Structure 1
Amino acid sequence: MVMRVAAPGAEGAVLLLHGGAENGLRRPSWLNPASWRMRPFATAVGRGGGLTVAEARYRHRGWNGERADAARDAAEALAALRERTGGLPTVLVGHSMGARAALRIAAEPGVAGVVALAAWCPPEDPVEQLAGARLVFVHAAADRITSPRESLLTAVRARAAGAQVCRFVVPGGDHAMLRQAGLWHALTAAAVHGLLGLRPLPPETVSAFALPARSTDGLGVRAVPRAAG
């Protein structure tokens, strides 16, 4: 785990979980583009102070099937952050494989919510652990690396399992979150601060969270700057 922002007197914490590969046992380099991609998100969520921001370090580049290495490393990083902060409520912000890991460990103690960016959501992944969780998905409509449809189906399954779910769709966009980067950052910051109770959640998120388990509304909200609130 690497500390990005260590805020004295912080009211909450954020754990960033970068992307990776389906398979790969090599250790990611510190020059790993997937890790650098999360740096602007650390800046965005940390702006204004009041939050401790950390980034998980993976032992391996890949998820590696049933080993689920990224999820195991994410859980260890979360435990280390919890000890470091004295148990502050924590939002998990994951991209691609990191989002998959965040969803897998959403039931860990102290997790106040998950922001899943361009989430890798294989249909066979479990959702039972998401009962009672608060989840904000953000996915680009034109993502060709991770499937927007599979993240939508996971959002539907998660809500049916008892999670509160909102899902924003970025028009166009891409997997790397470089196009309309400011919108990605603003949506993430608004979700993080809202999930931690530091600011009101965006109204679209509040409405989506209130929907019943069988509803599919609020899972394809068009992402626009005002939604970042």
Structure 2
Amino acid sequence: MMREAAPAAEGAVLLLHGGAEHGLRRPSRLNPPARRMRPFARALRHPRLVVAEARYRHRGWNGERADPARDAAAALSALRKRDGGLPTVLVGHSMGARAALRIAAEPGVAGVVALAPWCPPEDPVEHLAGGRLVVVHATADRITSPQESLLTAVRAREAGAQVCRFVVAGGDHAMLRHAGLWHGLTTAAVHGLLGLRPLLPEAVSAFALPPGSTDGLEVRAVAGAGA
């Protein structure tokens, strides 16, 4: 797990990269999904924030094994032990977002930022009650379903979570198109969830909605968001 030191840290963020549906081999040294998260690590730098990255033992989710969720929980526990239990935001992309959602009720988790999340409709959401979730998804994503992430956001809201979902017009799964928008929204969401800066106004409004309400749940992401 890579860490960036922050002597006066008040919060932490754990980055969870994507992967495959199935795969018991170890990730390669190059590990493109992990490299995809490095620009987010740079964007998130803050003198009061520890940035860490989970490492997986296997490439895939692997059905009921849910290997990345187990690895994410272990990484979160190790991070909390080293940093004295700082409140932590989980930032996951694709399969990593699924892992983040799965462990969102672990002690010390202050919120989840799910980027282009893999959200099978059978995954549980009841444990998200009382938590805070920010989803960012591109409308042109052909790898993970924007419709399924919307369904999960609605289900999480109904279960009692505070949820805001940003929609990136067009875009792609790899978050290369409109990269600055992805980085800016993620940084603003993490810093806001940890109280390092005010929450985005769109998130404040969406979080205040009553359970089960979908009006105002979705927000169109625009250039300059999070700036």
Q: Whole-Å Cα distance in 1 between the matches of residues 49 and 137 of structure 2?
A: 25
Q: Please report how far the alpha carbon of residue 162 of structure 1 lies from its aligned counterpart in structure 2 after TM superposition.
A: 0.6
1:105 corresponds to which of 90, 103, 122: 103
- Does residue 125 (structure 1) correspond to residue 145 (structure 2)? The answer is no
Q: Read off the aligned partner of 1:41 and give its amino acid letter.
A: F
- Does residue 197 (structure 1) correspond to residue 195 (structure 2)? The answer is yes
Q: TM-score, normalised by structure 2?
A: 0.98
Aligned to 2:26: 27
Tell me if the contact between 1:186 and 1:225 (Cα under 8 Å) persists in the aligned partners: no
Query: Where do 1:160-179 residues align within 5 Å?
Result: 160-179=158-177
Q: Read off the aligned partner of 1:225 and give its amino acid letter.
A: A
Q: Whole-Å Cα distance in 1 between the matches of residues 216 and 24 of structure 2?
A: 38
Q: Read off the aligned partner of 1:26 and give its amino acid letter.
A: R
Aligned to 2:54: 56
Q: TM-score, normalised by structure 1?
A: 0.97
- Does residue 137 (structure 1) correspond to residue 123 (structure 2)? The answer is no
Aligned to 1:2: 2
Q: Whole-Å Cα distance in 2 between the matches of residues 218 and 225 of structure 1?
A: 19
Following TM superposition, the consecutive aligned residue runs of length 4 or more in structure 1 with deviations greater than 6 angstroms are none
Q: Please report how far the alpha carbon of residue 120 of structure 1 lies from its aligned counterpart in structure 2 after TM superposition.
A: 0.1
Q: Percent identity over the alignment?
A: 82
Q: Please report how far the alpha carbon of residue 30 of structure 1 lies from its aligned counterpart in structure 2 after TM superposition.
A: 2.7
Tell me if the contact between 1:166 and 1:219 (Cα under 8 Å) persists in the aligned partners: yes
- Where does the alignment leave 5 or more consecutive residues of structure 1 unmatched? none
Aligned to 1:13: 12
Q: Read off the aligned partner of 1:193 and give its amino acid letter.
A: H
Q: Read off the aligned partner of 1:197 and give its amino acid letter.
A: G
- Where does the alignment leave 5 or more consecutive residues of structure 2 unmatched? none
Q: Read off the aligned partner of 1:94 and give its amino acid letter.
A: G
**Residues 28-73 of structure 1, C-alpha deviation per residue, up to 9 Å, x if partnerless?**
1231100000000001111x42110000000000000000000000
2:76 corresponds to which of 49, 57, 78: 78
Q: Whole-Å Cα distance in 2 between the matches of residues 172 and 25 of structure 1?
A: 33
Tell me if the contact between 2:138 and 2:169 (Cα under 8 Å) persists in the aligned partners: yes
Tell me if the contact between 2:181 and 2:225 (Cα under 8 Å) persists in the aligned partners: no
**Residues 84-123 of structure 1, C-alpha deviation per residue, up to 9 Å, x if partnerless?**
1100000000000000000000000000000000000000
Q: Whole-Å Cα distance in 2 between the matches of residues 12 and 163 of structure 1?
A: 21
**Residues 134-183 of structure 1, C-alpha deviation per residue, up to 9 Å, x if partnerless?**
00000001000000000000000000001000000001100000000000
Aligned to 2:154: 156
3-state SS of 1:54 partner: strand
Q: Whole-Å Cα distance in 2 between the matches of residues 122 and 8 of structure 1?
A: 39
